[in-house]
Structure 1
């Protein structure tokens, strides 16, 4: 990564409100890792990050590191990740890639994110050469088109208590289909599902791996809202602390992350301070493009 790219990435805020092409370009720079040595890469965090590194950022960067050791004709079809320790955004993350297997059809990589000599993140990713097979998929839920919905900034106007990081520029355009959790918390109408339209807020380069990594980044943005919404509580407005524990993604079909996709999420279970959340990604034409499962740590006062 060039010094200019580092400076651009340092200006990116990962969680907030308004966005645009300049903010998205900063995310692209953030995902442009510096190659230190064979199988070793280094990534940085935005200067104005929260206290710990955003989970979607470290997952996206780790997938970039894995993908850069794999032939471009082999596409990632799954990843499984564990968030081991909180990442410190003030220092770089070193990504060490282990080339587990290079087979005739599949390639497997293991990536460890390291800070101060300790692992903070571990990812396994599998890549496959294209081949034909059975075809079926769930249908997309019937939801309003994204252009008919309020922007994230418009949704936030009447909620001055959410004046922290969630109002800063974000590289992902998010439009809630149903009332967002901070609204249902006040109305008492708990939602069993959390549905948002998303897209990169600008135009991305024509690089398949980059689009997959941007979706990976976005997949961690609203997923834990699903278990919170069922209980009428929300970040910043209630006494709740949380963190991603593990994260799995399966990529089913090609897509562009700078075109609208629906993120349909729900939480089938919560117990022992852990909440499970699942999600499906649909392209605007109804194509199922990816599936996600995450377990998160959510602590609330008893």
Structure 2
């Protein structure tokens, strides 16, 4: 997994039940970023427990990690009866994925119990394992009790904040060509709660925290698994920002190479990823070339939907 600034989300391929369902005359320009995201998460089943996912051929160093995690979770979900939603996932990123090369997802049906279903997924590219994920699905139950900590702050509403692309345009006068291409293909509307910092002096005064409002830029349909996998995709886009914020501006020359090492998520309540959600992120520690980030995802009513933890590798460029 890497920051979305390095790996712009992009997709192509089949939607719904397959590529034959898409009109032949549809051009890439006519397909919305949200539709491309749904396409990207729609895997081809090539055996009972084996699926193949597209990997967009972009000019990138490695495949966006949120894509791999989202596709792996789709593969796991396709081997269940669909009645049990995902309640948690734990993943390790072992090797960088190669853009443009399909990824094969092999699913092991670890357990089908009365209340829980467990699946283990291995992602393979050119014969090498690049990613492992374990996902657990839980039969919904009546809650014996409920509680949650409230959001740490009263955050501004998303409509009052600029889209991240508009904020960059405002600062730079125009988006650089690469960022302009990214913005056109971006499947999520991202709005930072705090205005972006552009100088090292500004970053020195910052706490290791970041919060963003996000939602898909278009409808994602009504399949709960698609929404869960889309949120898994989105969860990797800004989480490591919290580690970087006290060190360097998020959008500018970078002093560090970074890559995600592992990723864990717990899903607490149903949600729709095409509706606004608040992603509140913090980094409790960075040491030994690694930084830990925690995220809490809330809906507009302040209900905690998802908890996220990720550790990333940070190495100084040219060091």
Q: TM-score, normalised by structure 2?
A: 0.86
- Following TM superposition, where does structure 1 have runs of at least 4 consecutive aligned residues deviating by more than 6 angstroms? none
8 Å CA contact 1:66, 1:110 repeated in 2: yes
Report the 3-state secondary structure (helix = DSSP H, G, I; strand = E; otherwise coil) of the residue aligned with 1:26: helix
Question: How many positions carry a matched residue from both structures?
Answer: 292
Identify the range of structure 1 (245-254 vs 153-162) with the bigger mean alpha-carbon deviation.
Answer: 153-162
Residues 1:241 and 2:257 aligned together: yes
Superposed, 1:139-150 pairs within 5 Å as 139-140=150-151, 141-150=153-162
Residues 1:42 and 2:52 aligned together: yes
Aligned twin of 2:192: 176
Report the 3-state secondary structure (helix = DSSP H, G, I; strand = E; otherwise coil) of the residue aligned with 1:61: helix
Aligned twin of 1:81: 91
RMSD: 2.3
Provide the rounded CA distance (Å) in 2 between the counterparts of 1:207 and 1:177: 29
Aligned twin of 1:252: 268
8 Å CA contact 1:162, 1:237 repeated in 2: no
8 Å CA contact 2:86, 2:136 repeated in 1: yes
Aligned twin of 1:51: 61
Over 3 Å counting, the alpha-carbon distance change for 1:21 and 1:194 in structure 2 is farther
Deviations 1:110-143 (A, max 9, x none): 0000011110000000000000222111212311
Aligned twin of 1:136: 147
8 Å CA contact 1:46, 1:89 repeated in 2: yes
Aligned twin of 1:16: none
Superposed, 1:169-248 pairs within 5 Å as 169=184, 170-180=186-196, 182-183=197-198, 185=200, 187-188=202-203, 189-234=205-250, 236-248=252-264
Aligned twin of 2:176: 163
Deviations 1:134-166 (A, max 9, x none): 211121231100001011121111237973654
Aligned twin of 2:10: none
Provide the rounded CA distance (Å) in 2 between the counterparts of 1:224 and 1:94: 27
1:48 CA drift (Å): 2.4
Provide the rounded CA distance (Å) in 1 between the counterparts of 2:201 and 2:179: 18
Provide the rounded CA distance (Å) in 2 between the counterparts of 1:261 and 1:183: 25
Q: Which runs of 5+ in 2 are unaligned?
A: 1-13
Identify the range of structure 1 (223-232 vs 90-99) with the bigger mean alpha-carbon deviation.
Answer: 223-232
Give the alignment partner of residue 117 of structure 1, picking from 127, 130, 134: 127
Report the 3-state secondary structure (helix = DSSP H, G, I; strand = E; otherwise coil) of the residue aligned with 1:175: strand
Report the 3-state secondary structure (helix = DSSP H, G, I; strand = E; otherwise coil) of the residue aligned with 2:46: strand
Report the 3-state secondary structure (helix = DSSP H, G, I; strand = E; otherwise coil) of the residue aligned with 1:265: strand
Report the 3-state secondary structure (helix = DSSP H, G, I; strand = E; otherwise coil) of the residue aligned with 1:216: helix
Provide the rounded CA distance (Å) in 2 between the counterparts of 1:44 and 1:132: 39
Provide the rounded CA distance (Å) in 2 between the counterparts of 1:47 and 1:258: 26
Residues 1:105 and 2:118 aligned together: no
Q: Which runs of 5+ in 1 are unaligned?
A: 13-19
1:206 CA drift (Å): 0.4
Identify the range of structure 1 (42-51 vs 96-105) with the bigger mean alpha-carbon deviation.
Answer: 42-51
Provide the rounded CA distance (Å) in 2 between the counterparts of 1:34 and 1:243: 28
Provide the rounded CA distance (Å) in 2 between the counterparts of 1:147 and 1:210: 25
Over 3 Å counting, the alpha-carbon distance change for 1:47 and 1:228 in structure 2 is same
Aligned twin of 2:282: 266
